[in-house]
Structure 1
Amino acid sequence: MKVVPLRLQPGADLRGALDAWMGKQEAQAGCLISAVGSLSVAELRLAGASEATVILGDLEILSLSGTLSRDGAHLHISVANSNGAVLGGHLCPGSLVRTTAELVIGLLPEWRFRRELDPTTGYAELGISQRD
């Protein structure tokens, strides 16, 4: 595994930046190792929901985990508001960095991740293969 640190600036779209960054990598598989920072807007798809919920305010990133591939990511995030209330779900585009997002990403050069429609779930799920 190759470990790469990444810092996103205020105003960056967290999901969009991760997708764009992964698209430029030679590796075709990655994962989030750690993430800290804050958001001013969080767009989360909550469990069982079909649409994103928009949360506005000063939000601390408590956790961010998931897989990265060139054709999309599957990321879950939990955030706390200024009262300490926590909410989590799928990270959607439009989640904006407030002060910083400090990420540590693991790239897996021996593997290839891709998103494939799974007829059982109806979602683009993780396809895994070894690289030649």
Structure 2
Amino acid sequence: MIEASIIRAAALRLNPDCDLKKSLISYCEFYGIQAACIISCVGSLRSLTIRFANKSNLTVIEEKFEIISLAGTISQHEAHLHISISDGEGKMLGGHLAEGSLIYTTCEIVIGILDDVVFKRELDSTTGYKELKIYQK
């Protein structure tokens, strides 16, 4: 078990046509962030690339969406993010956010940075997937 971490926050705004997932990883790369989480995210997308639960393929939807929530862990190495969005009728979709999800008007994000741990994703023989491993610095 890892000791409790102190979180400091950083806020950023993404402009139209930015790739949401790539931008978050790039932000962490630029600032050398090895462990962070999403605290808050609101905005809009003009294109969504998502992997739905228990599916192996990505789905791309070219439509305007409101971002209802974004949750997950990020680092300069990788990100595991789940997104909830709504369409013009208020219908919601959610799943694993993938690269290729492009901002429509804006995206306002607050991330929590954990300076005393490192997030890595390593193959877990129990699940067969790369899962989060947390290392104390």
For residue 122 of structure 1, report the CA deviation from its aligned partner: 2.0
Q: Does 1:4 align with 2:23?
A: no
**Unpaired segments of 5 or more residues in structure 2?**
1-6
Q: Distance in 1 between matches of 2:53 and 2:128?
A: 15
Which residue of 108, 111, 133 maps to 1:127? Answer: 133
Counterpart of 1:57 in 2: which secondary structure? coil
Q: Does 1:73 align with 2:79?
A: yes
Q: Distance in 1 between matches of 2:47 and 2:125?
A: 32
Identity, in percent, stands at: 49
Q: TM-score, normalised by structure 2?
A: 0.92
Counterpart of 1:15 in 2: which secondary structure? helix
Contact 1:70–1:114 (Cα < 8 Å) also in 2:
no
For residue 26 of structure 1, report the CA deviation from its aligned partner: 2.9
Residue type of the partner of 1:92?
A
Aligned length: 131
- Which structure is higher in strand share? 1
Counterpart of 2:105 in 1: which secondary structure? strand
Residue type of the partner of 1:34?
S
Which residue of 103, 113, 116 maps to 2:109? Answer: 103
Q: Does 1:113 align with 2:119?
A: yes
Contact 2:124–2:131 (Cα < 8 Å) also in 1:
yes
Residue type of the partner of 2:56?
S
**CA deviation digits over 1:52-111, x for unaligned, max 9?**
111221100000000012210000000000011100000000000000010000100011
Counterpart of 2:49 in 1: which secondary structure? strand
Q: Once superposed, which parts of structure 1, at least 4 consecutive aligned residues long, lie more than 3 Å away? A: none
